[in-house]
Amino acid sequence: MKCLTIIGARPQFIKAAVVSRAIRHNENIEEIIVHTGQHYDNSMSDLFFAEMTIPKPKYNLGICNLSHGAMTGQMLEQIEKIIWHEQPDIVLVYGDTNSTLAGALAAKKLHVKVAHVEAGLRSFNMNMPEEINRILTDRISDILFCPTQTAMNNLQKEGLGNMSCQILNCGDVMYDAATFYASQSRKPTEEIPPKFILCTVHRAENTDNEKILRSILKALEQLSENIPVLIPLHPRTKAKLTAIQYDFDNSKIHFIAPVGYLEMIFLLQHCELVMTDSGGLQKEAYFFHRNCVTLRNETEWIELVTNGFNSIAGVETDNIICTVQKVMKQNPDYSVDLYGDGNAGQKIVNHLSLCCGQDKIR
């Protein structure tokens, strides 16, 4: 069975590392990786392939720095050509980026089956490009690998349970990644304060609106008076900060370049608290028993909130500071298992392998 994997952004490399390793141990499946180029430089791409030993992509499309329409359109065109050429049995897509949607759409139009890893997530905020990508990808996928029961329920509510697709709860591949790589964590080369808050900000709705971006920065600067706030700075956020002429030199915030996954695990293992608008990092805070404050008005990972591991702070300066002060005092019980047993990747590959040769797949 030939599986064409479409990836292009940092979180997808992390998720694919898990599944790809399981595929390499399965003699029924040949994997061909397509890197769309959405994230391209060393710190956002190559580093992950090297650290996580992801096989070299056979195709690298180099499609980046374009508007949503242009990017998705160019990916669609290029992936279609690759599907014609490779004739895969299945196309495997991850998460919620333009690469996910383009891969799923190209395959479906050519009647090649689509499997979606991390299906069923919903923020219920249609202003997020990710939400649009998720909903459309789920709707045309043939196999939907959900990370949680909440995700399964979301798909049932949308009626996908009545359609000719398979919906499975296999657990979260990011939990597999965290457990597999935890012992390989690595201190970043930059100086890291002994105590710090780990923070990431990169969602378009936070970075593209100057008022919101400044409101978040103000909160982070005020918090930095008491405890250093360390930010591995996403290129999109860096570009926005440069555009608004943010004074990096006189900032109280401790900025470093984006780090690799092993360095990120080190930071998660040593930080006092996580503040983020990232999807993945909210869960990783929980995996490493760190409280999390989410810099958004909602989250897809609702079970973290209902179990007291994550607090939604929004983007107002005062709300963020109050939430951090409250959360710093909390000590939740981390013995609850929310994201499976750390074998999601193996379960996904077992299922793909089981389908191998069946009419369901081709």
Q: Which of 10, 116, 290, 296 binds ligand UDP (CB under 6 A)?
A: 10
Tell me: does residue 134 bind ligand UDP (CB under 6 A).
no
C-beta closer to ligand UDP: residue 113 or 290:
290
Q: Binding ligand UDP by CB under 6 A: which of 17, 229, 264, 324?
A: 264
Is 202 noted as a catalytic residue in this protein? yes
Selected from 75, 144, 259, 293, the binder of ligand UDP by CB under 6 A is: 259
Give me the least distance between CB of 11 and ligand UDP, in Å please: 4
Q: Which is nearer to ligand UDP, 82 or 304 (CB)?
A: 304
- Distance from C-alpha of 114 to C-alpha of 112, rounded to nearest angstrom: 7
Cβ proximity to ligand UDP, 113 vs 296, nearer residue: 296
CB of 275 to ligand UDP, least distance (A): 12
Segment interacting with ligand UDP (CB under 6 A) among 29-37, 212-220, 252-260, 315-323: 252-260
Q: Is 117 in the site for ligand UDP (CB under 6 A)?
A: no
Minimum distance of ligand UDP from residue 335's CB (angstroms): 23
Q: Which is nearer to ligand UDP, 246 or 301 (CB)?
A: 301
User: DSSP string covering 201-252, please?
Assistant: ---HHHHS-HHHHHHHHHHHHHHHTTS-EEEE--HHHHHHHHHTT--GGG-S
**At which residue do the structure tokens 């935890």 appear?**
182
Distance CA 106, CA 91 (A): 9
* Residues 293/313, Cβ–Cβ less than 8 Å: yes
Closest of 112, 13, 21 to residue 60, by C-alpha: 13
Shortest CB 288 distance to ligand UDP, Å: 10
- Supply the minimum distance, in Å, between the C-beta of residue 52 and ligand UDP: 10
105 or 295: CB nearest ligand UDP: 295
Q: Is 14 in the site for ligand UDP (CB under 6 A)?
A: yes
Residue 281 interacts with ligand UDP (CB under 6 A): yes or no: yes
Q: Which residues contact residue 252 at a Cβ distance below 8 angstroms, ignoring those fewer than 6 apart?
A: 221, 224, 225, 229
- Which residue among 35, 39, 202, 234 is the active-site one? 202
SS3 33: strand
Give the contacts of 268 (CB within 8 A, at least 6 positions apart): 198, 274, 284, 285, 287, 288, 290
Cβ distance to ligand UDP smaller for residue 142 or 172 = 172
Residue 186 carries which DSSP code?
-
CB nearer to ligand UDP: pick between 12 and 224: 12
Cβ-proximal residues to 298 (8 Å cutoff; 6+ apart), any chain: 123, 124, 125, 312
**Euclidean distance between CA atoms 153 and 293, whole angstroms:** 25
Q: Which of 103, 258, 342, 345 binds ligand UDP (CB under 6 A)?
A: 258
147: contact with ligand UDP by CB under 6 A: no
- For residue 279, state whether it binds ligand UDP (rule: CB under 6 A): yes
200 touches ligand UDP by CB under 6 A: yes
Task: Please identify which residue in 138, 142, 176, 284 interacts with ligand UDP, judged by CB under 6 A.
Answer: 284
Which secondary-structure segment (H or E) carries 267?
helix 261-270
Question: CA angle 61-63-65, nearest 5°?
Answer: 160
**How many Å apart are CA 150 and CA 114, to the nearest integer?**
22
- Round to whole Å and give the CA distance between 263 and 260: 5
Q: So which residues are the catalytic ones?
A: 202
Binding residues (CB under 6 A) for ligand UDP: these are 10-11, 14, 200, 202, 232, 258-261, 264, 278-281, 284
